[in-house]
Amino acid sequence: MKVSDSDLVGVHRAMVLSRTLEERLRALYRQGKLSGGCYTGIGNEAVAVCTAWSLGADDVVLPLHRDLGAHLVRGHTVKDVMLQYFGRRSSHTGGRDSGLHMGLLGSNIVGHISHLGHMMPVAAGVALAERMKGRNAVALTYIGDGGTSTGDFHEALNFAAVQKLPVVFVVENNQWAYGTPNDKEFACEDLAQRAVGYGMAGVSVDGTDAEAVLAASRKAVDAGRAGNGPTLLVTSTMRMTGHAEHDDAKYVPKEQLEAWRKKDPVTLVEKALQDRGVLDAAAIAVVHADAVREVEEAVEWASAQQPARPEDATLRVFAAPVPSPARASTATRGEVTYVEAIRRALQDAMKEDDRVFVLGQDIGLLGGAFRATQGLLEEFGDRRVIDAPISESAIVGASIGAAVRGLRPVAEMQFADFVTCGFSQLVQNAGTFHYRVGTPIPMVLRMPSGGGVGGGPFHSRSPEAWFAHSPGLKVVCPSTAADAYGLLRASIDDPDPVMFLEPKVLYRRVKGLLPDPSFRVALGSANVVHVGADVTVVTWGGMVPVAIEAAEALREADAGQVEVIDLRSIVPLDRETVLASVRKTGRLLVLHDAHRNAGFGAEVAALVADEAFMDLDAPIRRLASFDAPTPAETSLEAFVRPDVARTVAALRSLLSF
């Protein structure tokens, strides 16, 4: 595939501008004038520029931290970059992030995060979304040679290949992963060989040759657009500086640097232009002078812009920081189990909104491990009910990518315990997106959680505290069939990532009337499920029935009136309902299925101690599972978890004060 003269002129200008800007950034970093670190791609310009140049207007690029050229080609200006590096208030991240972690909402540039490999499943999700929207667009993302050892790299390649997604995965083989050479990173002769194992195309190209990179990139992009699936494009290049400006790179042998310096991609493309008779030395000098002028003007302009404001540091954590609106309904559609309410919520949401789709392990043909998605495949087809490989990080990452492009994915973990395999994608990626660049991530992650069913140590987690500690994630845990329906519908409507915990013990033991499709339970709204005046129990999920039974036992014994509050939503937390109840009763027991140590109950206790201490007539008590893995044998599990008898005893103790 021959590269035209006009294309070569264009990529040359972009490569020179990228090189000039990065040299200026290095100087500014050494002067202490930049916000954050400085990671340059000097020596990688042909890869970043030419791969991005191969894309069409509707295609999406997900650059890595060295791919300045891709940003410049795809529409970010030198001024945009300088605002970001100076940490100015008007930059894409407003000082919340640094370097090339930038990508403006609504653009076809999706900014990356520091965790290597994490954007690869996101790229697959972007491509999935574009295909679902009927757009013949391609996603292109980058990874370094070191990053090809991450699990996300392999999970993304497999997911994209299975789904035949139009993704180009570009490997920038810089010869060194920070201070580790290639022969300590992988044993294969060529990283492109890895593509064969995933059933996808693998191509190797000289990353210093702009013409070769552009031709190979266009072929890969065209293959994706034609429906031939993903391509792994491996480019051999060399970063001519350290991992970052704080790294002197003394570990790189001088002879290796010298050999690669002779293959400088900017020099090579200029030689090609001169050999073709397209540009002479004088014209090339003008390109360099223009780049210097543009960079210096941007530096002067950006340095004069308003700095970030300290008071903005806590803004933009959520796209919708206030509780979502509730929609009441008196209409019902008969009695259903808790798990059937979940299924019906998914079904109704998918009927009403084409942007909603579900994905996860065994959710299609099998209908889910607990049959929460049974029948959806037959009704909506395999483009909206996606059976994914056993790749939790790919499932979560693809959900993020689809959400970035405006869809509303609902992903399922077979058990909440398994979310640990996709944990980093949630807390580092999904939870930070809106804060960093203002991009909403309207995704839901459903997780069968908690004990009570003999699941043992690896199927009984109640992980709400993990996510409550991670800014940017919302966390809900319904206890009734109606709330399961209403909260799931509200979560799907929500513009933020919602961790939706479903206590397995309730799936078929709890029944209730199925609300009308318009019904919503507001995130951040607790519910007083048992009214009393003597002591408050704050609980959620699988412990709500336990608390109600204990309250009834005390009422029947005329031993005290217990008020039970079902939080329903952990984040956001309905602080006012909790505080109002404690101020009325003067006593508080926090009850939850999760382990006691650092459980979310401690946060509720701290809230009351901080804001209602003078209203207390007794110490705050917590009742939770013992700090041990949940055993599988029935009697052992029953011993570890709170039950009605222990709850009654704890309440009697509080009432004795």
Q: In angstroms, how far is CA 489 from the centroid of its own chain?
A: 21
- Give the count of beta carbons closer than 10 Å to the beta carbon of residue 643: 15
C-alpha to C-alpha distance for 102 and 95, rounded to whole angstroms: 11
- On whether the CB atoms of residues 581 and 491 are closer than 8 A, the answer is no
Q: Give me 226's structure tokens.
A: 């034609």
Residue 109 forms beta bridges with which residues? 61
C-alpha to C-alpha distance for 39 and 454, rounded to whole angstroms: 50
Residue 358 forms beta bridges with which residues? 385, 410
Q: How far is CA 99 from CA 67, 176, 296, 314, 378, in A?
A: 11, 21, 18, 20, 46
Mark whether 434 is an active-site residue.
no
472 torsion bin: left (phi>0), alpha (psi -120 to 50), beta (else): left
Q: How far is CA 359 from CA 244, 388, 394, 617, in A?
A: 38, 6, 11, 49
DSSP tag of 234: E
**β-pairing verdict for 562-566 and 527-530:** antiparallel
- On whether the CB atoms of residues 370 and 504 are closer than 8 A, the answer is yes
Q: Give me 313's structure tokens.
A: 């540091």
Coarse DSSP helix, strand, coil percentages of the chain, rounded to the nearest 5 percent: 45, 15, 40
Main-chain phi, psi angles of 366, to 5 degrees: -80, -30
Q: Which of 459, 530, 592, 595 is catalytic?
A: 459
**β-pairing verdict for 180-181 and 176-177:** antiparallel
Catalytically active residues are: 459
